[in-house]
Structures are given as C-alpha cells and as structure tokens.
Structure 1
Amino acid sequence: ERKALPDHAFPAKSHLETEFAESFPFEETPDQAKAIAEVAADMEAPTPMDRIVVGDVGFGKTEVAMRAALKCAAGLRQAAVLVPTTVLADQHLRTFRARFAEYPIRVEGLSRFSTPAEQKAVLDGLRKGSVDVVVGTHRLLSPDVRFKDLGLVVVDEEHRFGVKDKERLKAMKARADVLTMSATPIPRTLHQGLSGLRDISLIQSAPTGRLPIVTEVRPYDERHVKAAIEAELARGGQVYYVHNKVRSLPAVVERLKALVPGARFVMGHGQMKADALEKAMWDFHKGEYDVLAASTIIESGLDIPTVNTLLVEDAQDFGLSQLYQLRGRIGRERRRATCVLYFPGDAATLKSLSEDGRRRLEALREFKDLGSGLGLAMRDLEIRGAGDLLGARQHGYINAVGVEYYSQLLESEVERLRGRRARLERAPAQVDLALPAFIPESTLPGDLERLRFYKRALDADEKGLDGLRRELTDLSGPLPPEVDNLFSVLALRRRASRRGVRAAAERSGRLELWLHSGVE
C-alpha cells in the first residue's frame, strides 16, 4: 500500500543542506557519501522511501540520519528518530542537538528520562509543528503522540522492538519516508534487501585511523579478568564488564571489587530507576568510575572514547549480532581496543559448547576486521542454515509463504491498488533438508557479490541455474560440496513446484512432502 501511494517529494538540495554538509567535522568515507546521496535521492522522489543503511558501529550512520532529518526540516516537515533504549535516546538527543546547534531547527526528546512537564511541552510542540525533530524510545509510538506533518521516520535497530511496537510503527510509517539503520542486519532484513522489498545502502569503509579490535575467546579465569582490568586502567582507560543476569549482577560487582580492590566500580541495568541509571551512566562517562558492570543495556548507544576493554561473561549465550553490537561499543578512537569473550571455565575447549554457540564465538573471532558487520550477518545466515534463504525457516507471515512468494503477493497488491491486473504464480516449494547448502567466502569473497549471486540463484529457472553454475565455476574453479548442494536443492525446488509440491522437509532421515490442494 505504501509503495502504491503518492508521497510528498522533498525539494532538491538547498543552501542550508550544503552548509550543513560542509560543517561536518570529519571527512566522509566513500560509502558514507554514497549512502547520503542515495537517501537524498529517495526523499526527492515522488514515492515513499524505505531504505536500510547497514554499517558498523561508529562508521557514520548517525550522520546519514542527521542529513535526512535536516532535509526533512528544511522541507517544512517533521522527523521522528526511534531508538530501542532510553540510554541510546539520551545519547542521540545530545548528538542531534550538538550538530543542529547553529541551525534554526528545534530538537526535542521523548522517553522515560523526560519529566511529565517536559513530555507535555514536547507533545504540544509536535501537534503544533514547532518541534522539527524528536528523538525517543517506543514512547513515540503511544496514542497521545500526534504530529502536525510527519515526513521522516528514522528507526535504529528495528529488530529490537517488540511485535506491538512494530504494529504501531507500521501506522506511523504509512505516509512518511522511512530510514532504518542497522549494524548487523538480521537474516530477514537481508532477505528484504535481496528481494527488493527494501532498498539497501552499505557503509563498509572505515573512518580514517580506526584500528581493528583485538578479540579473544577463552575459558573464564579470574586471574585473566584481573590482569585485563588492571592493564586498561594502567593506560588511563575504562572497562565494560558485561554480565547479563540482573539478579546476580550485584554479587558480580562485589566479586570484582575483591579481585581488583583499587578500581572504582559502578553498576547499570535496564531495571534500575531512570534517574539512577542516568546518573550511573553519566558519572561513568565523566570518569568518576573505572569499570561499568552492566547488562546488555550498553549494547546500544553508550559512546565513550576512553572505554577500550570489553569483558563478556558467558558469551556463548548471546546472539551473534548482539555480541557484535557489544564489541562495537569500544575502539571508537585511535587506541587499540580489546574484547574478551569468556565461556564457562569448566569447558576445556569450545567443542564442549552447543554447536551454534561455538560457531557464533568462532565467527566473531574470525570477523575482527573493520566493516565486517555484513560478513557476520552472512555467517549468521549460514549458521542458521540454507532454510533461511530457501524460505523454510523464517518468521511470521513471510515465513508461512516464503520470501519470494511474499514479494509476488506484495507486487500483485501494488498493481491492484494502481488499478492494474497482475498475474500471480503459485508459491515456490519450500525445501528444508539437513545438509549444508551455501556459498562459502572462499568461493566468492565479497559479501555483496554473494548477496547478489544468492538473489540471482533464487530467481533462476533450471536452465538459468545451469548457467549460474558454469559462471561460478569459471570464476572460482571447482565448486565445493556446499555450493553443489545449493544448486541441487534449488533445482529440486523448481521441479517440486512444477509438480504441485508445497513443501519438502527431512525429518528423522525421512523425506516428508506436502502438496497443494487438488494435487494427487
């Protein structure tokens, strides 16, 4: 419906936008400049923007969002910036206000850090149009929040919002341009980029002078924890210590105090009262404490250049994108940063962990280079299995029908809304087999190249698959078993679809088939 509706096209680049761009205190990286240009072109088009900007933490996604917000305000419409945590909302609010300080743009915040009087003033300003940009948490999705003329919605890490929030967000997005930002896109986001449901901009070039983070994966050892904290404090830095069980966090802080008696510790987690959490975070930011022992609340938003050591307890229990986000909290300056991922001390090797937990930790150790967020997302797809790509294991309605057929349904509905008739093919068969079927990095090194090749393979018929196999062999030499499996599964999928098979799945060594109604 959004795609079929006409949208407000923002004017071409104004003098104010040029001045704002020139005031950026850093040199734009090539990918950042390209993303800014792509977002501007989308906003100037007569159809609603729906673009994902993918880039590592600290690679300049926020500046892309601020350029878009300025373009929106210069076009006399309002922008909403939606973030998953209160701490991140507070950080973004400070960043936006500092960047817009010299410009006639009013920036306000709306979260649980705001007092009732402050919230009332912001709500009035949004209704009357005197607030140009608002930064907030899911509080922005409340029924009492009304905009005079909402033109842009910026969403940071959309996957961290709940189902109810996403339903309200859908209503907010109806007639506004939408810009989503992510450091490690989840598989469904990759699918949407692959299938054309959303446009995607990649920021993979690192800022000048940024150093890769040293990543260690090792059994938990108190002597190592003590040495790591003391080494960071000796060079005048600060430490994040992540323990994600809120109930036992106070005991962990006491244990750490006994371990490093000369260090100053403070605790932070999402169940603390807003004012107490804010005080703890900003006291740590000002250098009044050496170590912040926290839950994953630090995953989004805390940007403190003096913190260059991250210690994570029970790292095997975290998701891959979550670990990557946590690691992105350090190494923001030109000082070498260290991330240590501890798994239980009684586990002699990683092999004693669950297979998925082990592969997640190994992937994070492998992808230590700057700009590797997309590579990690690709590995996450491979850890979850080819079923994610082939439509067998996804989530919600898209998963019920598969991403390709879902794309067809969307296109068909767009054509209907435009008053045209569209031909809708039967959904392609879903195939879920217990075998590795993917393109490894050794066969096709570039992340974007592999994304494009997957897309072409998913769209190809059997003859087209033969051509793609020859093309890949010419490019990379003899194909490994995983790639042979991928082509075989895709060909099987095409043949099964022609014969009326709706789904095929391997269960306990047997192949089960589900047929479309009316097929014998």
Structure 2
Amino acid sequence: KAAENGKQVAMLVPTTVLAQQHFSTFKERLAPFPMNVEMLSRFRSEKEQKEIVEEIRDGRVDILIGTHRLLSADVQFKDLGLLIIDEEQRFGVVHKEKLKQLRTQVDVLTLTATPIPRTLYMSLSGARDMSTIDTPPEDRLPIKTYVAEYDERLVRDAILRELDRGGQVFFVHNRVIGIGVIAEQLRKLVPEANLAIGHGQMPEEELEAVMYNFAEGKYDVLICTTIIESGIDIPNANTLIVNHADKFGMAQLYQLRGRVGRSAARAYAYLLYEKHNPLSSDAHDRLQAIAEASELGAGFQIAMRDMELRGAGEILGARQSGHIAAVGFDLYCRLLSQAIEQQRAQRSREDAEPARLWQSPLIDLPIQAQIPEEYVADSALRLKLYRRLADVDNIEQVEELEKELRERFGAPPPALQNMFYLLRLKVAATRARLEAIAVEDGRIVIKFGRDDPALQSQLTVQFNGRVRAARDRAWLAGPQVDEQWRAHLLEVVSGIRIANEAE
C-alpha cells in the first residue's frame, strides 16, 4: 500500500541469506505490478550497489531489501514512508534509530517471533501498537524438544532417524573456530551422511552455493553457525541439534528451533550441553523455558519469560533489557506513562497538561488482586486485559469491563473482584486528588498531599468519629479485620471527593 501511494519502502533484515530469500519472494509476488524491487547486500557487486544507491536517491526504487548496508551513509532515500524490520531481535537500538532518523515521519513495522524485552514492554505499555498472529499454517505440528548432555550415540541416532525418513539435519555449532573439527567428528560418527559446512565468514559465493545445494537436498547434514537463525525456510530439514545450547540466548534458541518443522512432518530439536559441566541457574531456566514452550506460536510466551528473566530495559535509552527493581515496577510504569502522555499532549498543544496517570494516587493495600490463570488461561489475553484494566479512569468503564468479563468467562473469582474494588477506589481517589492510600502501623492511612484543616474537621464530623484526621492525612478508626473496612474506606474517599468538589 505504501509503495502504491508513491512512498519508498525499506526492509531491514539481519543476514545476506535472508535478504536474498526475501528478494526472490518479493520479485516473484510483485511481478504483475509496476514496482521496482531491489536488494543491497554483499551478494551484490560493488558496481551493482552503486547503481542501486543512485536509483534509491532518485526515487526509482520502490521497495529496497537489505542488510546493515541500508544504514550506510551513502544510502539516501528520496521519500521513505515505511520501514520494515524483520527479525527485530537481531538488531541493536543504534541500528534501528539510525534508519528512523532518515525521516521524521516514517511508519515502522516490526516483525519478530520473539520480541526483545524492551520492544515487548513498549507494546504492553502503550508506546507501540501490537498485533499477534496466533494461527499457525495448516498441518503444522509442534516440535518435540529434548534437553540433554552431549552424547555421541544420541547424536548418531537422531541423524540416522531423520535420514531414514528422507529428511535433513541442522547441526548448530556457534564457533567458526573449531567448526571444522566438529565436522570431522561427525563424518566419523555418521559416515552414511553427506555433510556440508556453512558460516558467515565464508566467501559469499561459496556460502550461497552451500545453502542452495542444501535446500536442493544435495547434503544430508548442514553443520553451521547461527547464520540459519533468521528466516531460512527449508521444509525438508526436520531435525535440529544445537551444540553447547546453554551458551545461547532464549530468543536465539527459539529462532533456531523454528528452522525445523516447516512442513507437515514431525520435527525434533535436541538442545545439548557439555557433559560434566553443571548448568548455571540462568542457563537451566532458559533451556527449561524453551523445552516447556513447545506448542505452536509459543514465541510470545518465550518473550514474556525472557522479559521476566532479563528485565524490560531502557525505553528511551540504548539497553534493550535490564532490571527495574531499583525504582520498582509500579513507579516505573507511572514514570513511563507520564512521559508518553506528556509527549502526546505536546503534539496537540504547546502547554501540555500534567499526565492523567501521574495524578493517580498510589494505592497499597493488603489485598490480593489479579486475573487468575484458571479464570483466563491464555497468557497473552491476560496481558491485554491487564492493559485495559490499567487504562480505566471512570466508574462506567469499570462496570462495563466487569460485565464483559462476567459474560465471557463467568463469575469473577475473589482475586478479580478485589481488582475491580481497587479500580473503583482508584477512580474515587483520583477525583479526590489524594496522594496515597496505604497501610501504616496496622492502620489504613489516606494521604491528602496537603495540610487541610477544613477537610480534617469535616471528615471528623461527617463520619462521627469513625475517621480521624491530622495535618496531611486521615485514618480509619477502630479495627480493620473484617470486610466492612473496604466499604467504609470507599465511602470516606468518596466523601473527600465531594468535599473537594464543593470548594
């Protein structure tokens, strides 16, 4: 659509092999349309690259597919309208921001099966829009995944089992130094197999020939680095063996596993680690998460687990993961929401109003409030519902959402009822311009954020001694051990709101 409207489209991919694959697919599918599709990568000669760069500058290229070569200083777009980043987890912040700076008004579409923690959190927090594809292609089967110590008998059996059914095998060893030694060991271990080696430091013509011949079925086993990680589509390869799997990141392992099982045949993945070398706790967690997330479309689940293990990173900085424990998750969300709201406000008017979410008081009460997994089983759906709950800012929205969940999933369990209570309390406290509601020394304390003698007197009289007030706060009198304190607290906060509105 962007190209039809006269805008140029740039597609950034991480590897030359994937760039070639996309280029061939785009050329084939867009052949009936008057669109010029080009590719920039090291598979192009220097002369061809210069000609393509000139065509880009003149606007004669409609769709450009390329690797990091797109980020070079000599690549100048005439009218870039859309940037597509494929396999986004393979790029750093600097790479992506550099291309966005080519124009201030560029639509960005990010494609990934396993978003990095920063991108995932930006989507969940509202800084980015997100859509998910939950339906796998027809006839696809989940990949059987095994985690085990490296054992030559296991490797031989896995390779022969695949060859016996006419398939092919990926053997991943992510060190160019030593990959030849591994190849020799496998040749001795499985002399029946025809082996080839592929890695990113090979001359481009040789690598292209190896990948082409493997895709054509001329080799049984491809011993390779993670160069196959990004988007390689060889339906006949249905067994993956990863050597030293504990050295890989979670998203890397998921992407590698996605290279098999791309047809109707059952695929197998073996994640192997060194014998007599105990796994670190982080490596154990990564491998366990991959093995457990074996169902189709588990990338979102993997990404969520990755964010839990690594943290959400810096939204405005360069780190794409990292812990936020120093400020706490609640304050982190508030600060992020404030920044987003203020930026949006500044676009529409010069004098931006304070962010709405920043005005929401801090509510810290001994109440378990959540959407239980047994009530909404799908983790992605639960996250979307949490996001909708966080966006509620009036009683009508609370009641509508409660009604919707009741109709979709049945009567809400106690933990969810607690959440709706807290939402009602939050709405009332926000309108009352309160600073916080929390438990201190066993008492529920309501903090005004200001010293208000008139409000103190009014609360004491209105609630007939059930509320005591002094300086910038009030607290509920008497024991708060039964359920009545909840209704009482909501009544008091509503009374403060009415008093403020009457001023």
TM-score with structure 1 length normalisation? 0.69
Aligned mates of 1:458, 1:187 — CA distance in 2 = 20
Specify the alignment match of 1:273 in structure 2: 203
Deviates most, 363-372 or 471-480: 471-480
1:327 to 235, 257, 281: 257
2:302 to 355, 365, 376: 376
| 1:449 matches 2:381 | yes
Equivalent runs, 1:350-499 vs 2, <5 Å: 352-384=278-310, 395=320, 402-424=332-354, 441-442=373-374, 444-456=376-388, 477=413, 498=435
**1:355 alignment partner AA:** S
Q: Deviations over 1:375-433 (max 9, x none)?
A: 22223233447x87999xx7589969835423422331332233342233569999xxx
Q: Do the aligned residues in 1 keep the contact of 2:314 with 2:320 (CA within 8 Å)? A: no
| 1:126 matches 2:56 | yes
Q: Deviations over 1:168-205 (max 9, x none)?
A: 12213522222111111222222111121111111011
Q: Give the Å deviation of 1:459.
A: 5.5
Cα distance change, pair 373–173 in 1 and its aligned pair in 2 (3 A): farther
Specify the alignment match of 1:68 in structure 2: none
Q: Do the aligned residues in 2 keep the contact of 1:265 with 1:292 (CA within 8 Å)? A: yes
Q: Secondary structure at the match of 1:256?
A: helix
Q: Do the aligned residues in 2 keep the contact of 1:72 with 1:79 (CA within 8 Å)? A: yes
Q: Secondary structure at the match of 1:321?
A: helix
Q: Secondary structure at the match of 1:410?
A: helix
| 1:83 matches 2:13 | yes
| 1:311 matches 2:208 | no
Q: Deviations over 1:86-131 (max 9, x none)?
A: 1111111111111112222111100111111110121121122221
Aligned mates of 1:156, 1:309 — CA distance in 2 = 24
Q: Do the aligned residues in 2 keep the contact of 1:191 with 1:403 (CA within 8 Å)? A: no
Specify the alignment match of 1:30 in structure 2: none
Q: Give the Å deviation of 1:206.
A: 1.3
Q: Deviations over 1:282-322 (max 9, x none)?
A: 22222221111111111102111111110111212222211
Q: Secondary structure at the match of 1:309?
A: strand
What do you get for the CA RMSD once the two structures are aligned? 4.0
Aligned mates of 1:140, 1:103 — CA distance in 2 = 24
Aligned mates of 1:414, 1:346 — CA distance in 2 = 55
Q: Deviations over 1:138-195 (max 9, x none)?
A: 1111111112221211111223213431231221352222211111122222211112
Q: Deviations over 1:315-358 (max 9, x none)?
A: 122222111111111111111111111122336xxxx4222222
Q: Deviations over 1:14-46 (max 9, x none)?
A: xxxxxxxxxxxxxxxxxxxxxxxxxxxxxxxxx
The answer to which structure, 1 or 2, has the higher relative contact order (CA under 8 A, 6+ apart) is: 1
| 1:147 matches 2:73 | no
Deviates most, 165-174 or 105-114: 165-174
**2:339 alignment partner AA:** L
Q: Do the aligned residues in 1 keep the contact of 2:372 with 2:415 (CA within 8 Å)? A: no
Specify the alignment match of 2:106 in structure 1: 176
Aligned mates of 2:195, 2:213 — CA distance in 1 = 11
Q: Do the aligned residues in 2 keep the contact of 1:267 with 1:280 (CA within 8 Å)? A: yes
Cα distance change, pair 362–438 in 1 and its aligned pair in 2 (3 A): farther
Identity of aligned residues (%): 46
Cα distance change, pair 202–322 in 1 and its aligned pair in 2 (3 A): same
Q: Secondary structure at the match of 2:2?
A: helix
Q: Give the Å deviation of 1:479.
A: 5.7
Aligned mates of 2:92, 2:360 — CA distance in 1 = 30
Aligned mates of 2:114, 2:411 — CA distance in 1 = 28
Specify the alignment match of 2:476 in structure 1: none
Equivalent runs, 1:50-61 vs 2, <5 Å: none
Aligned mates of 1:92, 1:270 — CA distance in 2 = 18
2:275 to 345, 357, 368: 345
Cα distance change, pair 475–169 in 1 and its aligned pair in 2 (3 A): farther
Equivalent runs, 1:4-19 vs 2, <5 Å: none
Aligned mates of 2:361, 2:242 — CA distance in 1 = 42
Q: Do the aligned residues in 2 keep the contact of 1:443 with 1:479 (CA within 8 Å)? A: no
**1:248 alignment partner AA:** G
Q: Secondary structure at the match of 2:132?
A: strand
Specify the alignment match of 1:242 in structure 2: 172
Cα distance change, pair 429–359 in 1 and its aligned pair in 2 (3 A): farther
Cα distance change, pair 221–446 in 1 and its aligned pair in 2 (3 A): same
Q: Secondary structure at the match of 1:134?
A: strand
Specify the alignment match of 2:133 in structure 1: 203
Structure 1: gaps of 5 or more residues: 1-70, 431-436, 500-520
Aligned mates of 1:267, 1:451 — CA distance in 2 = 43
Decide which structure has the larger Cα Rg and report it: 2
Equivalent runs, 1:42-121 vs 2, <5 Å: 71-121=1-51
Q: Do the aligned residues in 1 keep the contact of 2:313 with 2:323 (CA within 8 Å)? A: no
Q: Secondary structure at the match of 1:202?
A: coil
Q: Do the aligned residues in 2 keep the contact of 1:79 with 1:134 (CA within 8 Å)? A: yes
Q: Do the aligned residues in 1 keep the contact of 2:199 with 2:227 (CA within 8 Å)? A: yes
TM-score with structure 2 length normalisation? 0.72
Specify the alignment match of 1:252 in structure 2: 182
Aligned mates of 2:219, 2:48 — CA distance in 1 = 30
